């Protein structure tokens, strides 16, 4: 087989997710009254990018066969912090951004440290730390409010010259500055190796503890970036547990639609981005098709089920039935 075919095989999840999104988006936009213009694109981008970046955050632990239930809460915590700190002049704003992102990194780092050195299950660890992060957010901002550097917010949620949504440029930058280096670094490779077979990774001499910690820390950083962007969209902060919970669960759904295996070892954050946009478009689709929005969870659920079924097809090939459980 040629190298091209192997590359196609490697990226089949991402390509499939991109195709699903393209199809949904095409239906959406052809039913939208004004068709595609800069304003519509910006609205879509502003809504989609937030979930896309949270889904990227979720992708990293899942690649190592873990899970991060705290991404949504880190997202909310960063939102509350930003509504407090990202104000005033350029210098103060920059400082605020650094603190917000640093806080996200710290949250992720704590997750990683507990999982690695406490030898606890990622799912329960992050459920607990997520509650703590939400508690902090609530303590910071008991009632919705706060402020944000509105010049910056307008710029980020507006359009670049040529009508390109600025939010998409931010997403691009996050991909290029976080995901691409991670994917091509030894650490990123090692994260995939751990997800593929932790025993084999250990036997190959991979520093498992360090790699996992870095992976969870980066996950926290990404969630905080999304939280910062949320502040730019809403111009305020809100410690909402329903936002946190929804984003966490939708991020997992987006990762799965994006073709990443929940068993670890296979997948890509790019796929998760398309997964997130596809998930968002389903909601919008019901709106333009004039269906009752009450149908939204049902349709999202069905799409998710189809996506998961596709990834279960490999089980049909298993010859030793005991392997089904391992």
114: which strand partners? none
In angstroms, what is the minimal distance from the CB of 188 to another protein?
A: 8
Rounded to a whole number of angstroms, the minimum distance from the CB of residue 50 to another protein is 28
Q: Is residue 1 classed as helix, strand or coil in its secondary structure?
A: coil
Q: Which residue, 36 or 262, is less far from another protein as judged by CB? A: 262
260 and 251 in contact (C-beta within 8 Å)? Answer: no
Question: Do 93 and 289 meet the contact criterion of CB atoms below 8 Å apart?
Answer: no
Which one, 1 or 294, has the nearer CB to another protein?
A: 1
CB of 322 to another protein, least distance (A): 5
In terms of CB distance, is 43 or 196 closer to another protein? 196
Report d(CA 276, CA 238) in Å as an integer: 22
Shortest Å distance, C-beta 180 to another protein: 9
Task: Tell me which residues touch another protein (CB under 8 A).
Answer: 1, 3, 6-7, 9-10, 181, 184-186, 189-190, 192-193, 195-197, 199-207, 261, 265-266, 318-322
Output b/e per residue, 85-110; b: 16+ Cβ within 10 A.
bbbeeeeebeebbebbbebbbebbbb
Q: Give the largest Cα separation in the chain, rounded.
A: 65
Give the residue with the Cβ less far from another protein, 54 or 190. Answer: 190
- Cβ 64 to another protein, closest distance in Å? 12
| Shortest Cβ 17–another protein spacing (Å) | 18
When the beta carbons of 1 and 91 are compared against another protein, the nearer one is: 1
All residues at 6 or more sequence positions from 104 whose CB lies less than 8 Å from its CB, including other chains: 74, 77, 78, 220, 221, 222, 223, 224, 225, 227
- Of 2 and 34, nearer to another protein (C-beta) is 2
Strand partners, 159: 165
């Amino acid at each position: 087989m040629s190298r091209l075919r192997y590359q196609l095989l490697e990226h089949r999840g991402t390509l499939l997710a991109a195709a699903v999104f393209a199809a949904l988006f095409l239906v959406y936009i052809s039913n939208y009254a004004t068709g595609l213009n800069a304003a519509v694109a910006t609205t879509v981008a502003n809504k989609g990018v937030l979930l896309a970046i949270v889904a990227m955050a979720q992708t990293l632990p899942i690649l190592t066969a873990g899970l991060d239930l705290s991404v949504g809460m880190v997202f909310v915590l960063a939102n509350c912090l930003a509504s407090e700190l990202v104000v005033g002049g350029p210098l103060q704003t920059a400082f605020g951004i650094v603190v917000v992102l640093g806080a996200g990194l710290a949250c992720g780092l704590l997750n990683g440290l507990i999982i690695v050195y406490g030898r606890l299950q990622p799912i329960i660890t992050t459920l607990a730390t997520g509650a703590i992060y939400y508690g902090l957010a609530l303590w910071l901002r008991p009632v919705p409010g706060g402020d944000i550097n509105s010049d910056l917010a307008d710029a980020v949620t507006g359009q670049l010259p040529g009508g390109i949504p600025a939010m998409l440029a931010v997403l691009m930058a996050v991909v290029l500055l976080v995901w691409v280096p991670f994917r091509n670094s030894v650490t990123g490779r090692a994260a995939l190796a751990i997800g593929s077979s932790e025993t084999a990774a250990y036997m190959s001499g991979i520093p498992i503890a360090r790699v996992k910690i870095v992976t969870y820390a980066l996950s926290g950083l990404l969630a905080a970036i999304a939280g910062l962007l949320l502040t730019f969209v809403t111009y305020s902060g809100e410690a909402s547990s329903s936002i946190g919970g929804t984003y966490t669960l939708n991020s997992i759904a987006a990762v799965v639609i994006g073709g990443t295996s929940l068993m670890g070892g296979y997948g890509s954050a790019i796929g998760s981005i398309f997964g997130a946009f596809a998930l968002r478009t389903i909601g919008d689709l019901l709106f333009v098709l004039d269906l009752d929005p009450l149908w939204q969870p049902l349709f999202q659920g069905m799409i998710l089920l189809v996506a998961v079924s596709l990834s279960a097809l490999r089980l049909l090939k298993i010859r030793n039935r005991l392997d089904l459980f391992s």
